[in-house]
A and B are shown apart, each in its own frame.
Chain A
């Protein structure tokens, strides 16, 4: 299951996580984001740590991480941004980013 991220739980779930975490910034009105959703859902089902930020609900998080285009996918490792991709991204590419 993906974690619904908010300003309250972001630090605990993402920055303090021992595993790499994939964070998907999305919104309901964005077509490409809706196509991205089943892909990150699969990753979560396969055991990867995946969090989702609804930019409509959490504009502060989007602003803090400089998200200006969605979907934006950021991989956090050891509490730091490790890599980010903008636009719909294939599952294999995300696995590569999580694994590196």
Chain B
């Protein structure tokens, strides 16, 4: 069992790692890519930088700094987190048990605003296969997404119905392993239905059609499960049942603790300023309080 697992290796995640490592919590950082920093060509408004640094340089320096302090890193995608008292972090590299988790994967991926998704929430559109698979036994379901996150949701659904299709909405599939789920890569125009969802309407690429050919553009589905991009902090928190704010960020208190005890969040995923300084502050606070949480939990049990 890990004491503290940190998801994300940007300014928030690394700051949390530095503070928890210094507090003898021996943290494990799980990460995939650079996130928003990758797009920052030049950072010149952060304290202590004599010359501007690129986001990538800052990211690499942060990881090197944490490694020098003995922080362990695992490069893997997180697929979801379950559990109640302690946490089970499901990743593409296996399951990891943890006493406390800090979510610091950055902000929401800007999911394409497909018309109909919001309108049909709770009436066929779902964000949690584990929660809602039950309602689609033996029915036709669609999973929106193109990564292992979507594949994980699709396989969850496959337990209850044989008709599961992943729709990538024009993105190239990025699955890290072989699977038996049907994949459709057409671009989605809208989610359609009446009282409840009836299916997906596709954009028709007229140029790809032979003369006189008709392309089917409507794909029936009773349920549409949204799993776009990789599972970000917000998606993970939502599936776990942590409260989100009205703007869709993770709700935290002044200790950066979410509404789930032992689950913390820091950086862009909590909303507010999208700045390195703010992420560093929040990561530090989350690290300190996750450490306190674990120490108290162990003291209470002994």
Contacts and interface: CB of A to CB of B under 8 A. Distances in A.
Interface stretch (B8-16, B127-135, B264-272): B127-135
A9 B121 CA distance: 29
| Band of interface residues on B | 20 to 34
Interface string A22-38: 00000101111111100
Given A68-B124, A68-B196, A87-B122, A34 B84 contact: yes
A27 B134 contact: yes
B233 interface: no
Contact of A68 (B135, B239, B241, B260): B135
Contacts of B126: 68-69
Nearest to B121: A86
Nearest to A26: B131
B24 interface: no
A72 to B, nearest CB: 6
B140 interface: no
| Band of interface residues on A | 20 to 34
B132 A66 contact: no
Contacts of A56: 134
Given A68-B132, A86-B121, A35 B196 contact: no
A44 interface: no
A29 B130 contact: yes
Given A66-B195, A72-B122, A88-B241, A35 B131 contact: no
Contacts of B84: 34
A70 B241 contact: no
B243 interface: yes
B239 A32 contact: yes
Contact of A88 (B121, B122, B223, B243): B243
Interface in A38-65: 55-56, 62
A69 B243 contact: no
A34 B239 CA distance: 12
Contact of B240 (A29, A31, A87): A31
B135 A31 contact: no
A88 B122 CA distance: 12
A70 B196 CA distance: 15
Nearest to B120: A68
B95 to A, nearest CB: 16
A35 B241 contact: yes
A31 B121 contact: no
Given A29-B130, A68-B196, A69-B131, A35 B260 contact: yes
B124 A32 contact: no
Interface in B100-150: 121-128, 130-132, 134-135
Contacts of B223: 68
Contact of B132 (A34, A69, A90): A69
A31 B243 contact: no
B82 interface: yes
B241 A34 contact: yes
A86 to B, nearest CB: 3
Given A35-B241, A68-B122, A68-B223, A55 B131 contact: no
Contacts of A94: none
5 contacts: A27-B134, A32-B241, A56-B134, A67-B135, A69-B123
Interface of A: 27, 29-36, 55-56, 62, 66-70, 72, 84, 86-88, 90
Given A69-B123, A86-B122, 10 more contacts: A32-B239, A33-B241, A35-B260, A55-B135, A66-B195, A66-B196, A67-B135, A69-B122, A69-B135, A70-B132
